[in-house]
Structures are given as structure tokens and as C-alpha cells.
Amino acid sequence: EADIYQTPRYLVIGTGKKITLECSQTMGHDKMYWYQQDPGMELHLIHYSYGVNSTEKGDLSSESTVSRIRTEHFPLTLESARPSHTSQYLCASSETRTSEDEQFFGPGTRLTVL
């Protein structure tokens, strides 16, 4: 069973606030990801990390930033939230020691910016 956690699950916040979405995994996976998903749409990769102190931007441009100071922790920060940031944010991790690197997802954070 996957052990990947996201907090908060739901967040409603006003425009201009700084927010951090937390993601932690206890599987020791080296790769971690952040996806953004709007209803009925595909998951878009916004950030990923191959290990500690490694972060890369994904395919979808995002104003958010991430950090990877510890293997198990991959928080995402929005310095100034805007209504356009309203979406579901999904964190995932994977093990890449084999060629089959299925991603395990957390439950997601549904963010609403008013």
C-alpha cells in the first residue's frame, strides 16, 4: 500500500496569500512529482524532483515553487495565490531502480482561491 500524504486536503484562501501544500512519502522513493488537474482534464506535471536538492519544472508552466531538502518531503509553495491557481494539486512518488516506475499518488489538495 502506498504511503504518501498530502495536507491540507481542502484549502480556501483569499487572493494574495502565501500558501504551502505539503507532501510526504514514507517509501524512500527518490522521484517525486506535483501535478495540477482541473475537472475533466488531464493531469499536468508542474514540478518534479529526482532526489534531494534536485528540482525541475514540468510541462505546464506554474508560478509555484518547490523544494526537496529531505527525500521524504516535497512541499509546493505559492507566494501570492490568485483565483487562476484554483485547481486540484496531486503529489506522487516513484522508485526508479527498475524500468517499471509506477507512480503512487497522494489524495490531493483541492485549492480554491477567492
How many other CB atoms are there within 10 angstroms of residue 95's CB atom? 15
59 near another protein (CB under 8 A): yes
Q: Is the dihedral of CA 57, 82, 4, 92 positive or negative?
A: negative
Residue identified by cell 531502480 is: 97
40 near another protein (CB under 8 A): yes
Name the minimum Å distance from CB 99 to another protein: 7
Is residue 45 within 8 A of residue 66, CB to CB? The reply is no
Nearer to another protein, 81 or 91 (CB): 91
Name the site residues for another protein (rule: CB under 8 A).
Answer: 2, 4, 6, 9, 33, 35, 40-45, 48, 58-59, 90-92, 99-100, 102-108, 110
